[in-house]
Amino acid sequence: MASLHFACPSFRSPEIWATHQSHRRPILISSKKTQYLVCCVKNSTKTLDKIEENKPEIQLEFIGPKAGPDGSYPVDKASTVSGEKLLRNIMVDNKIELYAAYGKVMNCGGGGSCGTCIVEIVDGKELLNERTNTELRYLKKKPESWRLACQTIVGNKENSGKVVVQRLPQWKK
Ligand code: FES
């Protein structure tokens, strides 16, 4: 005897349906105010995960400013979808120290008005946006490899690769 398989119905607005053409044939249900397309979605979680998986990613390494007792510098790692986040937010989200003592209490929260979120890009600068006018103002006499983390967009939505960041380059020993 043949077995039947049912998937849970999914309620989506027509706009959302337009972006998920992989779903089964929809049925239109209307009320006075709203229209819904009802469709059976097989393995819906996997389908959405796959969309995320296909976005290009940037891997990041953050080198600490002081060597440990064995002479090696500590390295933190993180990754992000290309072009979706500022470097400052990636560091804050991953609890990677960005500010020196003064910046910890006096930073502007990413508004581009304090100049304390300084990092050095050791590798992968081609994966980032160009220096902004704010950076040109605050980093005028600093090395070209220095950036303000709150002005630095990691990736451009299409590129992928690795960016190596020196934290607190002004305190590097
Ligand atoms: S956090 Fe103030 S300039 Fe970046």
What is the model's pLDDT at position 54? 87
Count of CB atoms situated within 10 Å of the CB of 3:
4
* Percent of the residues in the chain that have a pLDDT greater than 90, as a whole number: 65
Indicate the pTM of the whole model.
Answer: 0.71
* b (16+ CB within 10 A) / e for 9-39: ebebeeeebeebeebeebeeeeeeeeebbeb
- Say how many C-beta atoms besides its own lie within 10 A of residue 132's C-beta: 16
Q: What is the pLDDT of residue 2?
A: 44
Atom of ligand 1 nearest to the CA of 134: 3
Phi-psi category of 127—alpha, beta or left, where left has phi over 0 and alpha has psi -120 to 50?
Answer: alpha
What pLDDT does 172 receive?
Answer: 79
| Cβ 158 vs Cβ 118: under 8 Å | no
pLDDT in tens, 25-48: 444 444 454 444 444 444 444 344
Residue 83 corresponds to which tokens in the numbers above? Answer: 């072009």
86-90-96-99 Cα dihedral, nearest 10 degrees: 20
Domains and CATH numbers, the chain: 9-53 (no CATH), 57-171 (3.10.20.30)
How confident is the model at residue 52, as a pLDDT? Answer: 58
Ligand 1 centre distance from Cα of residue 106 (Å): 10
CB atoms within 10 A of CB 82: 19
Residues in the chain predicted with pLDDT less than 70, given as ranges, are: 1-52, 173
Pairing of strands 85-86, 118-123: unpaired
**Which of 162, 76, 81, 72 has its CA nearest to residue 122?**
162
Q: Taking CB atoms and a 6 Å cutoff, what residues make up the pocket around ligand 1? A: 107-108, 110-117, 148, 150
Question: In this structure, are residues 17 and 40 in contact, taking their beta carbons and an 8 Å threshold?
Answer: no
pLDDT at 171: 85
Give the pLDDT of residue 110: 97
Calculate how far, in angstroms, residue 88's C-alpha sits from the geometric centre of ligand 1: 9
Pocket test for ligand 1, best of 92, 132, 146, 150 (most atoms within 8 A of CB): 150
Contacts of 81 (CB under 8 A, 6+ apart): 52, 55, 56, 57, 58, 155
Return the H-helix or E-strand segment holding 67. none
